[in-house]
Amino acid sequence: MQATIYKSTGSWYVVKTATGETFQARMKGIFKKNEDITSTNPVAVGDLVEIEPEEGDAANAMITAIGDRRNYIVRSSPHGRNKKHIVAANMDQAVLICTLKEPRTSQGFIDRFLVTAAAYHIPVILIFNKKDIYREKEMEKYEELEELYTGIGYQVMLISAKEEDGIEEVKAVLKDKTTLMSGHSGVGKSSLINDLMPGLDLRTTAVSGWSGKGLHTTTSAEMYDLPGGGRLIDTPGVREFGIVDIAKTELSHYFLEMQPYLDECQFNNCMHINEPGCAVKAAVEAGDISIDRYVSYATILETIEEKEY
Ligand SMILES: Nc1nc2c(ncn2[C@@H]2O[C@H](COP(=O)(O)OP(=O)(O)OP(=O)(O)O)[C@@H](O)[C@H]2O)c(=O)[nH]1
Ligand SMILES: [Zn+2]
């Protein structure tokens, strides 16, 4: 029967069928890995799998096949520079929780996330949390960022998880979708999840009872069914997703507001830095592309190593 991976702890997985049956599952034998990626984990949260319940053990099952992925997101693996760890698969959208205070999310961090998501064709909603502690300075910054990112085409929201302000709007955005949630430590992901799923008490459920060694599983992603329909993938401990498999000349495609200018550059392999006749730079100078976004672009560009083909 078919099931979805809800949690991965390495060698064991929690899977759920369409009818809501949950199993602890393990992989049968060695699977051929997905061919387009060299990953350290063959299956990730969100993957669709085929399972066979084990005879005489109602709670256990074997994973016998893995379905094709619609999309996936990776982080670089601690086990080697060129190895990737799949964080989650088959998402409809991602939310990035940001804060303008305690702690302050940098625009560079936001832009790196947006590039990664765009490269994987995942729409992003930016949720700014901790509205209750914003003063004039932070509100001005929020309005500036809201205008910038909505202008590019992203949805932007302002909430307070603590005061449960804006939670209904968040629920509406998440309804019936599979959403990856990310953000720096301390921005209030757990608080928001607890608002969305009262009674879950995230901290206690993060400790896995059955494996007996669940205390250190907080770095693995986990999926939750939302009461109003839809699913949420929490990615605790994943600070940043890898900008992988992006060529330098491709990066500007993932700065969505640069797209209309790309065909107008004099050189078709223009990297929009020093080239003459660059339409992107002209748009920055004309104020049509934000200078901050351009700085993010140039900064990320420097971190991309040119691959040898
Ligand atoms: N003032 C204010 N504080 C908040 C809000 N949301 C969360 N916090 C506080 O921010 C701190 C971090 O919140 P968490 O929900 O644990 O944040 P997290 O993103 O899950 O952090 P990690 O577990 O480290 O990944 C806690 O002290 C919360 O009480 C908010 O809307 N307003
Ligand atoms: Zn150019």
Tell me the pLDDT of the chain (309 aa) as tens digits: 999 999 988 778 999 999 999 999 998 875 645 445 567 788 999 999 999 998 887 789 999 999 999 999 888 655 556 677 888 999 999 999 999 999 999 999 999 999 999 999 999 999 999 999 999 999 999 999 999 999 999 999 999 999 999 999 999 999 999 999 999 888 999 999 999 998 776 553 333 344 433 343 356 789 999 999 999 999 876 667 766 678 899 999 999 999 999 999 999 999 999 999 999 999 999 999 999 999 999 999 998 876 554
Q: CB–CB of 68/85 below 8 Å?
A: no
Tell me the CA–centroid distance for residue 127 and ligand 1, in Å.
13
Does 86 map to a domain?
no
61 and 108 inside one domain: no
Query: Which range marks the domain in which residue 267 is found?
Result: 248-303
Ligand 1 atom with the shortest distance to the CA of 193 = 15
Helix (H, G, I), strand (E, B) or coil at 272: coil
Asked if 57 and 136 sit in the same domain, the reply is no
132 lines ligand 1 (CB under 6 A): yes
**Domains in the chain, number:** 3
In sequence order, which ranges of the chain are alpha helices (DSSP H)? Answer: 107-119, 136-152, 167-174, 189-196, 202-205, 259-262, 279-285, 291-303
How many whole angstroms separate alpha carbon 15 and alpha carbon 22?
Answer: 6
Q: Does 143 share its domain with 187?
A: yes
Q: How far is CA 295 from the centre of its chain?
A: 22
Q: How far does the centroid of ligand 1 lie from the alpha carbon of residue 161, in Å?
A: 8
Same domain flag for 220 and 299:
no
Look at residue 243 and tell me if it is in a domain.
no
Q: Is residue 75 part of a domain?
A: no
- Entry pTM: 0.90
Is 76 contained in some domain?
A: no
The answer to whether residue 78 sits within a structural domain is no
Task: Check whether residue 153 and residue 260 sit in a common domain.
Answer: no
Residue nearest to atom 28 of ligand 1 (CA): 188
Alpha-carbon distances of 289 from 8, 248, 295, 297, 302, rounded to whole Å: 41, 19, 11, 11, 19
Q: Supply the CATH number for residue 291's domain.
A: 1.10.40.50
